[in-house]
Amino acid sequence: MKLDILVLAAHPDDAELGCGGTIAKHVALGHKVGIVDFTKGELGTRGTPETRAEEAATAANVLGVAVRTNLALQDGFFQNDPDHQLRVIQAIRRYQPEIVLANAILDRHIDHGKGASLGADASFLSGLAKIRTKDTEGREQAAWRPKVVYHYIQSQFIVPDFIMDITGYWETKLQAIKAFKSQFYDPSSQEPETYISNPAFLQMIESRALEFGHAIGARHGEGFTVRRYPGVNNLFNLI
Q: Helices 49-63 & 14-28, crossing angle to 10 degrees?
A: 20
* 234 three-state secondary structure: coil
Residues in the chain: 239
Instruction: Return per-residue pLDDT of the chain as tens, 239 residues.
Output: 899 999 999 999 999 999 999 999 999 999 999 999 999 999 999 999 999 999 999 999 999 999 999 999 999 999 999 999 999 999 999 999 999 999 999 999 999 999 999 999 999 999 999 999 999 999 999 999 999 999 999 999 999 999 999 999 999 999 999 999 999 988 888 899 999 999 999 999 999 999 999 999 999 999 999 999 888 999 998 87
* 153 three-state secondary structure: coil
b/e per residue 63-75 (b: at least 16 CB within 10 A)? bebbebebbebeb
pLDDT, position 96: 98
pTM of structure: 0.96
Which among 69, 71, 1, 70 has a CA at the least distance from the CA of 32? 1
Dihedral class, residue 217 (left if φ above 0, else alpha if ψ from -120 to 50, else beta): left
DSSP strands (E only) in the chain: 5-9, 33-39, 67-73, 99-102, 148-152, 162-165, 221-226
> From CA 33, how far away is CA 193, in angstroms rounded?
33
What is the identity of the amino acid at 144? W
CB-CB neighbours of 42 under 10 Å: 15
* 164 three-state secondary structure: strand
> From CA 28, how far away is CA 15, in angstroms rounded?
17
